[in-house]
Amino acid sequence: MKSKHRNKTSLAFLLALSAFSGIHAQDRVSLSLQQCRDLALSNSEELQQSDLKLQQSRLDRQIARTAYFPKLEASATGAYVFPDMDIMGMDLRMRGMYMAGFTLTQPLYAGGQIMAGKHLSDIGGAVAQEQHRMTRMDVLAEAEKSYWTLLAVQSKVLMLEGYREQMDSLYSQIAVMVQNGLATDDALLQIEAERSNVSYQLKKVQNGADLCRLSLCRVTGLSYDTSFLLADTAIHVAEPVLSSAGVEARPELRLLEHQVDAAREQVKLTRAGMLPTVGLMAGYTYYGNIKLNSMVDAGNGVLMPYEQEFKDGLGAVMLSVKVPLFQWGANLKKVRKNKLDVRNAELDLQKNKRFLELDLQRAAHQVQDGYQLILAAESSLQHASEHLRVVRNRYQSSMALLSDLLDARAKLLQAKSNLIEAKTQYKIAELEYLRASGRLDS
């Protein structure tokens, strides 16, 4: 019976919303829930920034891997040295000397610094990935909440407009009866008061609907003069079957785990500063325009000027070993400090994991409570509909007052409103449960 009633309610929503006329109808867009999600993802600046950070993390990992490979550097130097230097009666002239060459450096052992740096870059990539997932879930949650909230408010607008039409029709009927002496002016005053109340409530809901429309425009990236014809108006509700999944898939938990891993790698990186480093370097340098001027004996005591230019290349291969010997215990203290950072990260993980588990339990309870509220709202709607039917028959038989009829209609209106709210809150509770279990990004 309840299932039939739910189907009727969903069909009523679909038929009603298909006739909905928005405030800004010049730019009307038919929007399904999936389209809303896709637009939100494609137009989210936060998600685009997260994409950029993800690309940066990939570049960081590529940069870290280059530390394994040899580095090739080229250099060129020109100099004008004056005055000339006197070397055993000869002038060494370096006016316009030049040197050019290259150096190839290959790290052989760095105490684990290169490996620790690579691991840190890998952790940074994993952190960027989890942050991207978290941002994606936030965007999807906001989009779906905006969609369901607008659907609920639009449904209330349609319901109040229908109720206002009923009051207008009843007012016309009573006005005819007053003219014919079959009713008093007091009846008209009662209906007029109810009409004023409905108009007030309708205006409030219309204003709320416009604010919700603007919120959905912002989420989807559409212009603010866009009005929406929501396509997914049937809110399907079934008894929730909650999975036994924990919080292991939550990006927040994984970020905390990566924080612990990064702190441990930082210990290794600091400890590596206490170990020797070994590097191999090979190079070749070409030099020229270095001249040696002197006077030489050409025979018979005749001195003649002599000039010799030095222009050649020089190659070298070197092995470098660097061993830190004494630094007043600075590195040891840094290692102990980093180990304390590891412990802090572990405690932070332990504390926040309990909060995440509590958040999951609360979200599960909200889903279950939301379903029970829907059942209660459906039962209330059935009783209100039956009550209105009985009071209407009694009123037509002059066995009930007009105030009783108006009160019964108001209760039916409230019951319909409660059902709309209950179904909408249930969909939002489902969203929060999926996010709390880390499964909303699908």
pLDDT the model gives residue 48? 95
pLDDT the model gives residue 304? 81
Contact by Cβ (8 Å): 190, 409: no
- Six-digit token string for 384: 């209100």
pLDDT the model gives residue 305? 82
Supply the pTM of this predicted model.
0.81
pLDDT the model gives residue 138? 95
First to last CA, the chain: 34
pLDDT the model gives residue 84? 85
- Six-digit token string for 435: 């996010």
pLDDT the model gives residue 62? 93
Query: Has residue 283 been placed in a domain?
Result: no
- Six-digit token string for 421: 């709210």
pLDDT the model gives residue 136? 95
pLDDT the model gives residue 120? 94
Query: Has residue 315 been placed in a domain?
Result: no
Query: Has residue 228 been placed in a domain?
Result: yes
Q: What is the DSSP string of 79-122?
A: EEEEEEEEETTEEEEEEEEEEEEEEEEEEEE-TTHHHHHHHHHH
CA distances from 219 to 95, 216, 225, 378, 397 (A): 70, 5, 14, 32, 54
Q: pLDDT (tens digit, 0 to 9) for every residue of the chain, 442 residues total?
A: 444 444 333 333 333 333 333 334 446 889 999 999 999 999 999 999 999 999 999 999 999 999 999 999 999 999 998 888 888 878 888 889 999 999 999 999 988 889 999 999 999 999 999 999 999 999 999 999 999 999 999 999 999 999 999 889 988 988 888 888 877 788 889 889 999 999 999 999 999 999 999 999 999 999 999 999 999 888 888 888 887 778 999 999 999 999 999 999 999 999 998 899 999 999 999 999 988 888 777 777 777 887 888 899 999 999 999 998 888 888 899 999 999 999 999 999 999 999 999 999 999 999 999 999 999 999 999 999 999 999 999 988 888 888 899 999 999 999 999 999 999 999 999 999 999 999 887 6
Query: Has residue 306 been placed in a domain?
Result: no
The number of distinct structural domains making up the chain is 1
Query: Has residue 310 been placed in a domain?
Result: no
Query: Has residue 295 been placed in a domain?
Result: no
The model's pLDDT over 134-151, given as tens digits with 9 standing for 90+, comes to 999 999 999 999 999 999
Query: Has residue 284 been placed in a domain?
Result: no
Q: Which of 397, 415, 419, 418 is nearest to 407 (CA)?
A: 415
Contact by Cβ (8 Å): 294, 86: no
pLDDT the model gives residue 442? 65
Residue 308 host element (H or E):
strand 303-322
pLDDT the model gives residue 27? 62
CATH number, domain with residue 388: 1.20.1600.10
Domain assignment of residue 145, given as a range: 2-69+110-275+324-436
pLDDT the model gives residue 420? 93
Query: Has residue 169 been placed in a domain?
Result: yes
pLDDT the model gives residue 181? 81
